[in-house]
């Protein structure tokens, strides 16, 4: 293995895990003054603009030649999937906590692997089944104090978890469409088109007046969300080019640990606009099991999809 590639790939994958781990904390801050729809519109619009500028500089903007009837259909499916993923993620976060949201989202890559069994005739290896079982066990341990609440979705917290699960399903739908589109477009072009479509679709839901009145912390949180969307995906994509896919994905699976660490640091520093996590020892152990299960599933597959929220 090339030592330089190993170090670069690991560094980029770790950066991706850090950014995705801190994302729900930033979005939770933004939710203090903005609604989920406006936050999501800002993320799509900002990321679409930055991605468009990057593709224009590289002269890689998609053209009509990239499309046929089949690719258009999958682009619509992918746009609906990623838009649903982003919106449902923030909606779920508005009812729950950053740590709970990020831990639950670890089911998204596994859902895509399950979808792959139907759409691409892929198979779970024994190691992946073990990882899946570890992840499910970890989720049960993580929610050890609140398992009864999960049976009553009318409760705010349990509703947030249900919305997060729906967000993971939406992301898996997007993942299937991305795989279908990769024969016509590269990942950056796909994301650019989806960002633009989502920006237009969500335009009627955005409250621009509220954006003019946000405080400095919320403005920084929005800018972080936009930059996170572009930089994290860019770092992840570049890591896949220089390092093995399974190893990159296993490192990225550590994102919930950065969420827990970030929330703990913010609580210790008494930052008023970050809500402290209320986790016991079993919950932390469950989070570690979820991360371990996700890593094992990633290492047990030759092809692991890109995650995001």
Band of pLDDT at residue 53, cut at 50, 70 and 90: very high
* 73-131 confidence digits (pLDDT tens): 889 998 999 999 999 999 999 888 888 888 888 888 777 777 777 776 666 678 877 88
φ, ψ of residue 117 in degrees (nearest 5): -65, -30
How many beta carbons lie within 10 A of that of residue 47, not counting itself?
A: 26
Going from the C-alpha of 177 to that of each of 7, 55, 73, 297, 308, the distances in angstroms are 31, 21, 9, 21, 14
Going from the C-alpha of 251 to that of each of 12, 154, 172, 290, the distances in angstroms are 10, 35, 20, 13
The residues, ordered by sequence, that sit 6+ positions from 204 with a Cβ below 8 Å of its Cβ are none
Which of 162, 193, 164, 165 lies closest to 177 in space, CA to CA? 193
Specify the pLDDT at position 66.
Answer: 67
Do 108 and 172 meet the contact criterion of CB atoms below 8 Å apart?
yes
Give mean pLDDT, residues 289-304.
71
Band of pLDDT at residue 13, cut at 50, 70 and 90: confident
3-state secondary structure the chain: CCHHHHHHHHHHHHHHHHHHHHHHHHHHHHCCCCCHHHHHHHHHHHHHHHHHHHHHHCCCCCCHHHCCHHHHHHHHHHHHHHHHHHHHHHHHHHHCCHHHHHHHCCHHHHHHHHHHHHHCCCCCCHHHHHHHHHHHHHHHHHCCCCHHHHCCCCCHHHHHHHHHHHHHHHHHHHHHHHHHHCCCCCHHHHHHHHHHHHHHHHHHHCCHHHHCCCCHHHHHHHHHHHHHHHHHHHHHHHHHHHCCHHHHHHHHCCHHHHHHHHHHHHHHCCCCCCCCCCCCHHHHHHHHHHHHHHHHHHHCCCCCCCCCC
Specify the pLDDT at position 305.
Answer: 44
Band of pLDDT at residue 152, cut at 50, 70 and 90: low
Angle at 275 between CA 272 and CA 281, to 5 degrees: 130
How many beta carbons lie within 10 A of that of residue 199, not counting itself?
A: 21
The residues, ordered by sequence, that sit 6+ positions from 76 with a Cβ below 8 Å of its Cβ are 197
Which of 79, 39, 69, 87 lies closest to 200 in space, CA to CA? 79
Residue with tokens 């994290």: 232
pTM beyond cutoff 0.85 = no
Instruction: Quote the CA–CA distance of 61 and 80 in Å, as a whole number.
Output: 21
């Amino acid at each position: 293995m090339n030592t330089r590639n190993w170090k670069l790939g690991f560094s980029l994958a770790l950066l991706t895990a850090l950014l995705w781990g801190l994302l729900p904390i930033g979005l939770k801050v933004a939710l203090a003054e903005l609604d989920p729809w406006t936050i999501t519109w800002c993320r799509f619009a900002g990321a679409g603009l930055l991605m468009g500028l990057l593709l224009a500089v590289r002269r890689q903007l998609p053209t009509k030649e990239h499309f046929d009837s089949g690719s258009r259909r999958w682009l619509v499916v992918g746009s609906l999937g990623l838009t649903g993923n982003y919106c449902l993620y923030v909606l779920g976060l508005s009812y729950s906590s950053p740590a709970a949201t990020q831990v639950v989202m670890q089911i998204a890559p596994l859902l895509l692997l399950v979808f792959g069994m139907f759409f691409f005739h892929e198979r779970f290896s024994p190691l992946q089944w073990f990882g899946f079982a570890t992840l499910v066990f970890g989720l049960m341990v993580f929610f050890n104090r609140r398992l009864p609440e999960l049976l009553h979705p009318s409760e705010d917290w349990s509703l947030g978890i249900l919305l997060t699960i729906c967000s993971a399903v939406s992301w898996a739908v997007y993942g299937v469409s991305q795989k279908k589109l990769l024969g016509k477009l590269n990942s950056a072009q796909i994301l650019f088109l989806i960002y633009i479509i989502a920006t237009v679709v969500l335009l009627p839901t955005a409250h621009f007046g509220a954006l003019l009145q946000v405080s400095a912390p919320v403005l920084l949180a929005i800018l972080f969300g936009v930059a996170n969307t572009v930089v994290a995906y860019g770092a992840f994509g570049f890591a896949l080019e220089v390092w093995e896919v399974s190893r990159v994905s296993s490192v990225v699976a550590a994102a919930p640990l950065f969420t827990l660490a970030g929330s703990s640091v913010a609580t210790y520093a008494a930052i008023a606009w970050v809500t402290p996590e209320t986790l016991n020892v079993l919950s932390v152990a469950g989070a570690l099991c979820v991360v371990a299960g996700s890593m094992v599933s990633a290492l047990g597959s030759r092809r692991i999809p890109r995650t995001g929220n």
